[in-house]
């Protein structure tokens, strides 16, 4: 993997270093492990058509296309010669023997290691060779001792969504956020053999605090940074050998205003869902893999009243909330495939959450019988928000009726609205994510009517409807909310307009950071003046959306 020439012949300095750390009689003070440095380089970049290049730490990234038209993600790490590689081996051996187990990967560790590297150089009487390459040595020591080794750059690149390794003799692939239209980009990282891949995967899994064996040859876990790792061991359940997939965790979650800027959802759609959430509705977000469902759920939860209590239930903790009263529950899987008595399922956690009086229960994704427990929670007055794998609203209801979910008609009637999100290709070839349809579940004569109320017109390249009053006329759920709250039709329209304007003002002022959006939503609920300032700002009306807000509608607002 990431091979580079390691020629030892004709190098007296190399021989001097090699003899210094050759095995001695005092085997107790020497590590039996052999540490060999593999670094990544791009020597023939002129053979590629470069689309973009940028730095990740000390490494250079090239997004480029080869002569056959294949897109690549190439990494060029700091160059290091044979002397540096030999010094690296000695340093890594020292760390393996002497490094405190509690040491962290931070600036103080770097300072500590820098002193130790210089000490080792002096001990070998090679400080004149160590000093000039001290930063390069530290890069590789930090990468391999505390980072993710040969894939450390991939893990640090915030532009990447997924890292994919299917076979030891094929290059690792990545999904790039800015070049998603090209799907998987091949990197210049390839493993040598099943053995080297197995060794790497074992170290990778250790980052999650777990381990794999022939008895338990697979794992689905998460690193302390929140990255989700699915991996296999040896040839037990995968051929030709071990493999792994990493779904990377975004440190800065996308907020509702960021989704508005990206065109994932329209301000009127967001205002509609916001109104439903205020009424403790049960909203279901559906779509295929990589449609961005979890991201959208995280953004929508920020619209829930800050004074409400939210309980989130996930397999992998990805959601981030700004609410003070946020209870976070995660499932637990058994340590052995032969016993599940220590597992804690999502269904158990949903039932447990009911004992803690949440206003809203948010489930990352429902796949089984937990949907029944969630629907029972909604039936008793709790709000619900979750995601679901399905192609459309009809397929959602069909799948719900089937085992293991077994949600009957009465339970399906409790769903207020289904948001369908899709991964689309825009006219310019870019991958975009859109809420393409919002469908209401309307009970009628002991049956369910699926009523589309909002959507995305791909031909016209715009969301519909554009008019607030048209939405109010279409939506049965909004009429129910209006009746429960004692609102007139005009008051319901005013509620939606106020929310549209408030969201538009945040977008206009480029308020997209998580903490700042949280503060603004708190103002919406706690400071009525702030709520209506956005309405008075006529510049916010329509400049960042297609919604039609008439002067008559604006003047009708009770300010």
Q: What is the pLDDT of residue 104?
A: 63
Among 53-67, 96-110, 165-179, 356-370, the least confident range: 96-110
The stretch 140-168 carries a mean pLDDT of 93
Q: What is the pLDDT of residue 99?
A: 62
Q: What is the pLDDT of residue 545?
A: 45
For the cut 70, the answer to whether the pLDDT of residue 538 exceeds it is no
Q: Which residue has the tokens 């493999």?
A: 243
For the cut 70, the answer to whether the pLDDT of residue 555 exceeds it is no
pLDDT tens profile 214-239: 888 988 888 888 898 999 999 999 99
d(CA 380, CA 374): 10
What size, in residues, is the chain?
Answer: 559
For the cut 80, the answer to whether the pLDDT of residue 486 exceeds it is yes
171 or 127, which is more confident?
171
For the cut 50, the answer to whether the pLDDT of residue 38 exceeds it is yes
pLDDT tens profile 127-142: 888 889 999 999 998 8
For the cut 60, the answer to whether the pLDDT of residue 544 exceeds it is no
Confidence of residue 543 (pLDDT cuts 50, 70, 90): very low
d(CA 494, CA 230): 48
Q: What is the pLDDT of residue 537?
A: 67
For the cut 70, the answer to whether the pLDDT of residue 22 exceeds it is no
The stretch 240-269 carries a mean pLDDT of 93
**What is the DSSP pairing of strand 71-76 with strand 59-65?**
antiparallel
For the cut 60, the answer to whether the pLDDT of residue 393 exceeds it is yes
Q: What is the pLDDT of residue 121?
A: 80
**What is the DSSP pairing of strand 244-247 with strand 326-330?**
unpaired
Global pTM reads: 0.81
* 342 contacts 332 by C-beta, under 8 angstroms: yes
Please choose, from the candidates 287, 285, 281, 320, the residue with its C-alpha nearest in 3D space to the C-alpha of residue 301: 320
Among 101-105, 184-188, 364-368, the least confident range: 101-105
pLDDT tens profile 270-311: 999 999 999 999 999 999 988 999 999 999 999 999 999 999
Average pLDDT score, the chain: 86
d(CA 271, CA 282): 16
Confidence of residue 530 (pLDDT cuts 50, 70, 90): confident
pLDDT tens profile 73-116: 999 999 998 888 888 888 888 777 766 555 566 677 788 888 88
pLDDT tens profile 301-340: 999 999 999 999 998 788 888 899 999 999 887 655 545 6
The residues facing 339 across adjacent strands are 336
d(CA 306, CA 326): 10
* 54 contacts 61 by C-beta, under 8 angstroms: yes
* 251 contacts 166 by C-beta, under 8 angstroms: no
Share of the chain above pLDDT 70, in %: 87
For the cut 50, the answer to whether the pLDDT of residue 25 exceeds it is no
H/E stretch holding 127: helix 127-130
d(CA 154, CA 372): 40
Q: What is the pLDDT of residue 9?
A: 39
């Amino acid at each position: 993997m990431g091979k580079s020439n390691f020629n030892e012949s004709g190098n007296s300095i190399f021989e001097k270093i090699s003899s210094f750390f050759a095995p001695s009689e005092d085997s107790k003070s020497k590590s039996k492990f052999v540490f060999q440095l593999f670094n990544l380089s791009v020597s023939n970049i002129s053979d590629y058509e470069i689309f973009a290049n940028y730095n990740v730490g000390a490494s250079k990234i090239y997004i480029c296309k080869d002569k056959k038209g294949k897109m690549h993600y190439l990494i060029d790490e700091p160059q290091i010669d044979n002397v540096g590689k030999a010094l690296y081996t000695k340093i890594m051996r020292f760390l393996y023997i002497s490094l405190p187990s509690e040491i962290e990967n931070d600036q103080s560790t770097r300072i500590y290691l820098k002193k130790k590297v210089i000490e080792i150089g002096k001990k070998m009487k090679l400080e004149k060779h160590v000093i000039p390459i001290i930063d390069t040595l530290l890069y590789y020591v930090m990468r391999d001792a505390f980072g993710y080794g040969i894939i450390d750059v991939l893990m640090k690149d915030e532009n990447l969504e997924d890292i994919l390794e299917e076979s030891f003799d094929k290059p690792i692939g990545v999904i790039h956020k800015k070049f998603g239209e090209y799907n998987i980009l091949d990197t210049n990282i390839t493993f040598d053999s099943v053995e080297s891949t197995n060794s790497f995967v074992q170290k990778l899994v250790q980052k999650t605090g777990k381990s794999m064996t022939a008895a338990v040859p697979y794992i689905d876990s998460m690193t302390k940074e929140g990255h989700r790792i699915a991996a296999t061991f040896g040839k037990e359940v995968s051929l030709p050998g071990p493999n792994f997939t990493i779904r990377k965790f975004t440190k800065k979650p996308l907020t509702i205003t960021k989704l508005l800027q990206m065109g994932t959802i329209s301000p009127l759609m967001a205002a509609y869902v916001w109104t439903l959430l205020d009424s403790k509705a049960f909203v279901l977000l559906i779509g295929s893999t990589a449609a961005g469902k979890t991201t959208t759920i995280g953004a929508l939860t920020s619209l829930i009243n800050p004074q409400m209590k939210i309980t989130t239930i996930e397999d992998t903790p990805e959601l981030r909330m700004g609410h003070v009263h946020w209870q976070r529950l995660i499932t637990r899987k058994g340590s052995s495939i032969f016993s599940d008595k220590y597992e804690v399922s999502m269904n158990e956690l949903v039932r447990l959450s009911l004992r803690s009086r949440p206003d809203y229960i948010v489930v990352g994704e429902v796949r089984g019988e937990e949907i029944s427990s969630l629907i029972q929670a909604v039936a008793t007055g709790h709000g619900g928000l979750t995601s679901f794998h399905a192609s459309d609203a009809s397929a959602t209801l069909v799948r719900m009726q089937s085992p293991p979910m077994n949600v009957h008609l009465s339970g399906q009637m409790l769903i207020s609205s289904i948001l369908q999100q899709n991964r689309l290709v825009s006219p310019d070839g870019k991958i975009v994510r859109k809420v393409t349809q919002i469908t209401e579940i309307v009970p009628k004569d002991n049956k369910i009517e699926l009523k589309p109320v909002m959507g995305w017109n791909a031909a016209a390249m715009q969301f519909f409807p554009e008019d607030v009053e048209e939405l109010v006329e279409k939506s049965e759920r909004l009429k129910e909310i209006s009746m429960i709250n004692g609102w007139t039709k005009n008051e319901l329209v005013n509620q939606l307009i106020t929310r549209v304007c408030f969201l538009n003002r945040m977008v206009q002022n480029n308020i997209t950071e998580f903490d700042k959006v949280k503060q603004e939503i708190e103002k919406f609920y706690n400071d009525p003046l702030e709520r209506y300032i956005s309405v008075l700002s006529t510049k916010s009306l329509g400049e960042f959306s297609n919604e039609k807000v008439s002067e008559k509608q604006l003047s009708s607002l009770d300010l």
